Amino acid sequence: MRRFKTYLTAAAFLGPFLLLLVIFQGWPLATMVRDSTRKFSFLNPDEATSVGLDNYRALLDDPMVVKSLQVTVLFSLGLVVLVIPLGLALALFVNQRFRGVKALRALIFTPVVTSVVVIATLWTFLLDPGHGLANTVLGAVGIDPQPFVTSTGQALPSLVVMTVWAQVGFAMILFLSGLQSIPGELLEAASIDGANPWQTFWRVKLPLLRRTTLFVVVIMTVFSFQAFAPAYVMTGGGPESSTVLFVYYIYQSAFTYLRAGYAEALSVLLMAIILVVSSVQLFLLRTKESS
């Protein structure tokens, strides 16, 4: 009886959340899985025909799946590799006390709170080969105009640089709170032992920031596997598919190529990838904690 009452109370508190979660996460998820075994377009979903696992088979044949996975992995690697050291360096820098440091922190963080649509649009114009600010600045220091997103070689790096610019503030804040949670006694002890700042960083701070670093890696990886707007707004996946991010390819399959069932199969694949990647990373986080 007591146990029953506990369940009832729990249900009362959890009810609204769980109800909404089931309706707006569970139901769409189920729809997605069901539709991944169908052939239909959103133009007329009533005319769906069941095709079993055909969509999944087609997925194995599709060179664009491989291409877009490559692009997405490169994008996430580029992002992680640049964001970690830059975010850490920025955190160390703004962890000092000097006039205006708070404003500087806020400034670096600003792109994180700016909408991706606005950032992608802003950068489209920044990187415009003809009238963009980037080439104007390069020209001022004597460098020839660059093609940026209009060339296969520079398009993906351009998106990576833009995303690093937009997200590095997030990493900085995480590292900053990691730094600030390092007990002052530890640092004092190090300086009494005669360690210079360089040694303090490598021997004391960095090891203690391991968990933060892993966390940033998780966040950035998941973030880049979900990235969509850069490709949508800036490049349309081109040139020559060099920026076809996975979620963008899902969008294209569903809305441009009218293969909704196939797009749902791709979504299932995406979810599987994200779940695996983040489980592995979360597992790493766990072990670090217990050790």
Partner 1 sequence: MKLMRIGAVGLAVLLLGTACTAAKDTASKPGCDKVVTLNLLRAQDTPPAPSVLKDWEAAHPCIEIKVSEVPFGQLADKINVIAGSPTPPDVYTYDGPNTATYASRGVIAPMDAAITAAIRADIIPATIKEHTYEGRLYSPGIRQSALALIYNKDMLDKLGITPPDSLDKAWTWDQAIDAMRKCQVGPAGNAKVWGLAPTQSGNGTPGPSYVSLNFLRSAGDPKADQQSSLYKTFWALAPDGKTINGWLNTPEAARGAQIYQDIFNKYGISPKAGIPNAYADGKACFDIQQPSYIGKLLAPDATFKTGVTPLPYVTTPITQTGSLTLGVGARSKHPKEAAEFVMFVASGPEQLKNSQGDHSMPVLKSLFTQLPQYDSYPLAIYRNELEQWGQPRPPGPHYAQYDSIVTSAMRDIAYGGDVAATLDKAVKQFEQIAGKG
Partner 2 sequence: MVPGTLPRARRRLRWWNGVIAAVLCAVFLTPYLWMVGSSLKSQDSIFKDASGLSIWTFLPHPATLDNYVDLFVERDLGRAMLNSLLVSAAQVVCTVIVCSLAAYALTRIDFRGRTLLFGVILTTFLVPSEALVVPMYHVATQLGLNDSLWGVFVPWIASPFGIFLLRQAFLDVPRELDEAAMLDGAGHWRIFRSIMLPNVRTALATLALITFLASWNAFLWPLVIAQSPENQVIQVAIAQNTVPGELPNWGVVFAGATLATIPIMVLFMFLQKYFVEGMARSGLKG
**Which of 17-25, 166-174, 192-200, 256-264 is the region at the interface with partner 1 (rule: CB under 8 A)?**
256-264
Reduce the DSSP state of residue 248 to 3 states and report it.
Answer: helix
The answer to the question of residue 44 lying near partner 1 (CB under 8 A) is yes
CA pair distance 227, 216, nearest whole angstrom: 16
Q: Is the peptide bond before 28 cis (omega within 30 degrees of 0)?
A: no
Q: List phi, psi (to 5°) of 67.
A: -60, -50
Q: Residue 143 — left, alpha, or beta (φ > 0 → left; ψ -120 to 50 → alpha)?
A: beta
One symbol per residue from 151 to 170: x for binding partner 1 (CB under 8 A), - otherwise; what is it? Answer: xx------------------
Query: Contact region for partner 1 (CB under 8 A) — 14-22, 35-43, 208-216, 280-288?
Result: 35-43
Nearest partner of 171 among 121, 201, 214, judged by Cα: 214
Shortest distance in whole angstroms from residue 267 CB to partner 2: 4
Smallest distance, Å, CB 41 to partner 2? 11
DSSP annotation of 42:
T
Q: Is 27 in the site for partner 1 (CB under 8 A)?
A: no
Instruction: Give least dist CB 10 to partner 2, A.
Output: 5
Binding status of residue 150 toward partner 1 by CB under 8 A: yes
Radius of gyration of the chain (CA): 24
Site for partner 1 contains 28 (CB under 8 A): no
Sign of CA dihedral 69, 75, 80, 81: positive
256 touches partner 1 by CB under 8 A: yes
| Residue 41 engages partner 1 in binding (rule: CB under 8 A) | yes
State the Cα angle at 285 between 283 and 287, rounded to 5°. Answer: 70
- Site string (258-277) toward partner 1, x via CB under 8 A: xx--x---------------
Q: Which is nearer to partner 2, 51 or 164 (CB)?
A: 164
In terms of DSSP bridges, do strands 49-50 and 38-39 run parallel, antiparallel, or are they unpaired? antiparallel
Binding site for partner 1 (CB under 8 A): 39, 41-47, 54, 58, 61-64, 128-131, 145, 147, 150-152, 236-240, 254-259, 262
